Each structure stands twice: as structure tokens, then as C-alpha cells.
Chains A and B, each alone.
Chain A
Amino acid sequence: MSAFLTYLLNGLAVGCAIALIASGLVVIHRVTGVVNFAQGTFAVVAGLCTASLLGLGLPHGVSELAAVLAAAAAGLLTGLAAVGRAGTTPLSSLIVTLGAGVLAYAVEIVLWGDQPRSAPGLAGSVTLAGARIQTQHLLVIAVTALAFVALALFFGRTYLGKALTACASNPYAARVVGIDVRRMGLLAFALGGLLGGIAGVLVTPLRPISFDTDVTLIVNGFAAAVFGALTRPVVTLAGALLLGVAETMAAGYGYGSHQLEIALGLMLVVMIVQAGRRSALSQEQT
């Protein structure tokens, strides 16, 4: 029983990390309508930065903060390429973000090499009801909870957040009332980078990050985000937790080598079921 509880808690922590990646996807998609294939890259950039900065002897906290800011800058740059030019369709933007992810491979290999890197996190573990859980896992869960509350407040209560939402629901009307849709798109990308960066900083102590880890991260993040149809953060969080627990249970009970198939298979089923419920007309642009 305590093994089950351990898997459950670890799974929730893994799910929270996925949720942070997914929340970046959701934020960017909500504002710009673009699916950002470079989302996993932001986490990788942040993770590698943390490892390097800590290696240089910078204290904890400063290193992590700098890494998250670097990821936000990467997000802004990706946004500039993807939505900075007027008249780029969402599908073109998707291909551009794909290109940005591949370009990041080149930069990352030059800066950090192609070997996985790790960074020390919170040491030790806590025993909860007979289940042992690493302190770092608890930190992941706490930060994710904070991030989602902050996002909810930001989008629901602030003018900037409402302006961002307005861009997504009706870009034309948003422009009419004086909202700079392009700047909002860039802001969304920077925010996406920030969220991806937080995820990367939190994940690096749990498992080493290398330049091509972004595929696993984006696949999981996207799987969670499609639960919420790429627009609903709370459903996305639920999806991410489900996914994290499913993967950890699979690994814990001896199907570790099939983790990826489980995540991807689950995502495909959800997408196909969702597609069957929506009509073609509602998905076509007018």
C-alpha cells in the first residue's frame, strides 16, 4: 500500500511538472492561436542554464531565477519569429516554432554539448503516511499550485490578463479598442517561456536534461493540453496529473519501457474522441 502511495505522490509531482509545460502551451495558444512546438525547448534551456550557473558557483535562487529569465527571453525570441511578422497564419507559425526548436538544438550543443546535465535540488525526503517522497517533489507540487493560482488571478483579475484573453477571442475587436495584438502575442510567448523555464528548473534535479529532452517534455505537455482543448487551464492541470500518475504507476509496476507509448496513446485517444464531438465547420476558419 505504501508503494502505491509513493507512486501516487511521485506521479502527482511528475504531473505537476507536465502541467507547467502544458500551461505555457495553453497561454500561448489562448492568446495567439499558435501551438508552440518549442515549448519543451524553454524548459531545456532553463535546465541547462541552472546546471551551468550552479556549476560556476552561483548560489541557489539566483541561478534558478536567471535560468527562468533566460527561458523567458528564449520565449520572446521564438515569439518574434513566430508571430512578429504580420500575416503569418497559425499553421505557418507552428512550423516556425518547430524550426525554432531545431535551431535551439544547434545553440544548445555548442554551449553545453550533447551529454545530459543535472543540477542539485532540495535534498532529503519526507515520509507521509508511510510513503517516502523527495522534498524536491513537494517543491514541484507547491510551485505548480502557486503558478496556477497566479495565472488564474492574472487572467481573471488584471487588465493585462483580460487584454490577453481579448486578443484570442476576437483579435479584430481587441484591435478596435486599442489593444496591440502583436505585442500581446509576444507577451504570451514570453510568459510561455517563463512557465516552461520554471518547469525546466524544477525537473532538472529529478532527472538529467539534455538538448533533445524537449521531445519528451513537449509530447507530455501537449498530451495534457489537449485534455483542456488547449484553452482550459484547470482541465489541463487535471489531464497532466492523470498523465503523470499513469506514467509513474506504469514505471513502478514494471512497464517503465512503455512510458512514452502510454502517454502518446492516451493523447491520441483523447484527441480522436474530441475530434468526433466537434463538427468540421466549427474548426474551419472563416
Chain B
Amino acid sequence: MTTRTTRRRGAVRWAAGALAAAVALALPAVLDDSALAVYVLLGLAAMVTVGVSLLMGYAGQVSLGQGAFYGVGAYTAALLALNGLPPLLGLVAAPVAAALAALVLGLPLLRLRGHHLAFATLATQLILLSLAGQLTFTGGDIGLQAIPQFSAGSFEASGAAAYAYLTWAGLALVMLVTHNVITSRPGRALRALATSETAAASSGIPVGRYKLVVFALSAAFAGLAGGIYCFYTGYVAPGSFPVLISIQYIVMAVVGGLGTIWGAVAGAAAITLLVQGLDQLANLPGMPSYAPSVLSYAVYALVLIVVVLFLPDGLVPAIGRRLSRERPPATR
């Protein structure tokens, strides 16, 4: 690749990023409340998906339990806020608690690889959900209700627009952190260990520590999203974090393109909008009562299967390749 194309591509990327940021900032002003709700949920899903993409695409680790860390963040923020602490403290504590949980769980779990790790993370989420449904301080199956609105100092988030700005500020932070991680030396080390842990270890990369840190980081992203989610909806319950939500993040990351930041956002946007559109279709008069759940199950499943089989690199890399008409650099 010549320096000129590199520079041109850099400029194109910078312009695309600036455009995306401008659109993201402008949207809350023009959307109505129901569209804003979708916008907030889209941003939250993108936040978690960036973490999944980092974990799966860069470090090569599969987590089918990302929804658990989303839940840990939401419960942490909700419990702190309900006990009278300032919501800002809850929002800060949410990613920290999720990361700590990931460190504790990851220490034994990350010794597992491939399908073992996938299943272990799924099992972890099932255990946490079951516990949350039985313990008293989490409110059992009913969960926690009447969570106060988010506020920081004199600012109080009262409308959906405020949460939209909060969410997309969080997403920008998450994307910035991820960008800095993957362009750094540890980022290259992560890519190396995804290819071969043995080779990475023998060239001096602390494989175990790096895997643990990236697991905790992706959990922190999910925890932050969970924290915002609990203030936005005002309640959390075990039913808010089903196993399907973890699968949904995998679908979004795979659809957008694993190991790309913008791919995660694009995947989250594509799936959220698709499911939302079908949901409206399913709620039209004359549709059977089971239509919403059936359509969303079918969509997740079909999109996942088709993309894994026919578009294994995901949407964004495929489009990027079409635009630049070059062979993709071997990232994985």
C-alpha cells in the first residue's frame, strides 16, 4: 500500500467519523420519543457489541455470557441509587463492578478455550440469572423498581433525549478506548494470541494477563451500558437479561464484522433497526399474538446463520473491500 492511499484512506475515515458524530449528535433533536427509545437502545447495544467485537475479533475469545456483565452493571447502579447514593456514583461503579466480576470469573474461566469457554460463559450467565431471581437484595424475580432518574450535579436526565446524549457519549468513550487499545502494542499482542497462544507466549506476550484484561474491559463496556439502561428504564429484573441478549450481541458483532469498531456499531444498528421494523410489522392488527417473539427469534437466527456461512468477515469489512478493491489485510 502506498503512502498516498494510506493518507487518502485516513482522510476518508476521519471525514466518515466526523459525519457519523455529527449525525449522532443531531438525531436526538429531530426524533420523537418512540424513535428516541430505539436510538437509546441502539447506542447501548453498540456499546456492548464493541466490547464483544474486541474480545472475539481481537483476542479470539468467545463469550456467550456478555449479558451477565450488562446485568451486573445494571444491578450495581440500581442498588447504589436505590440506597440513596448519587446516581453518578452508580454509573461510575457499574463498569467497575462488571470489570471486577469479569476478573474474578475470568481467572478460572479463561483457562478454557473455544467451545468450552463459550459454554462456560453461558453457564455463568445462567447461574447469575438464577441467583438474581432467588436472592432478596436483588428483589428476586420481580427485580428492582423505582430507580431514580440519572442526575449529576445540577443536571437531571428527565427526557429520552438526555439519555440519548448520555448513551452516545458513553459509546464515544468506549470506541475511543477500544481504538487506543487495538492500535497499541498490547493490541498487536492480542491479535497474535488469537492466532496461536503458544506462539504468542513464546515470543514473550503475557497471554493469560492480556486475555484477562481484555475480558474485563469488554465486561466494563457492558457494565456501563447496563448502568445507563437501569436509569433509563427505571427498573431491572432477571428477565431483562435473558440468554438471548448475549446471543444478540454476538449476532451484532458477527454481522458488522468482528474486530472492527465501526463494524460493531453498524451491526448493532442494522440488527436493532431490523428487529424494530419487524416488531412493528408483528404488532399490526390481524397478526397472531406470538408474532413478535417468533419474528425476532427467526431474524436473529437467520441473520446469524447466513452471515456466518456466506459473509464470514461481516458487513463493514466486506463493504470496505468492495470500495477499496484490495485484498484484505490478514487480521485473523
Contact = CB atoms under 8 A, between A and B. Distances in A.
A20 to B, nearest CB: 19
A95 B304 contact: yes
A114 B126 CA distance: 20
A271 interface: yes
A102 B111 contact: no
Contact of B243 (A88, A90, A215, A280): A215
Interface string A222-249: 1000100000000000000000000000
Interface residues of B, number: 44
A254 interface: no
Nearest to B306: A99
Interface in B110-136: 111-116, 118-120, 122-124, 126-127, 130-131, 134
Contacts of B14: none
A261 B127 contact: yes
B135 to A, nearest CB: 11
Contacts of B127: 260-261, 264-265
Nearest to A259: B130
A110 B294 contact: yes
Contact of A95 (B116, B134, B254): B254
A280 B294 CA distance: 41
Contacts of B305: 81, 96, 99-100, 103
A189 interface: no
B123 A102 contact: no
Contacts of B38: none
Interface stretch (B39-47, B95-103, B295-303, B318-326): B295-303
A3 interface: no
* Interface of A (DSSP majority class): helix
Nearest to A257: B134
B166 interface: no
B126 A102 contact: no
Interface string A79-99: 001000100101110111011
B228 interface: no
A215 B290 contact: no
Residue among A99, A105, A275 with most chain B CB within 10 A: A99
B250 interface: yes
Residue among B113, B201, B305 with most chain A CB within 10 A: B305
B109 interface: yes
Contacts of A103: 297-298, 301-302, 305
A109 interface: yes
B196 interface: yes
B243 A275 contact: no
14 contacts: A35-B119, A95-B250, A95-B254, A98-B304, A99-B300, A99-B308, A100-B305, A105-B294, A105-B301, A109-B293, A257-B134, A275-B113, A280-B113, A280-B201
* List of 7 A-B pairs having minimum Cβ-Cβ separation, nearest first: A103-B301, A106-B298, A99-B304, A102-B301, A35-B115, A99-B305, A106-B297
Given A101-B301, A114-B293, A272-B108, 8 more contacts: A35-B118, A96-B308, A99-B305, A102-B300, A102-B301, A106-B298, A261-B130, A272-B111
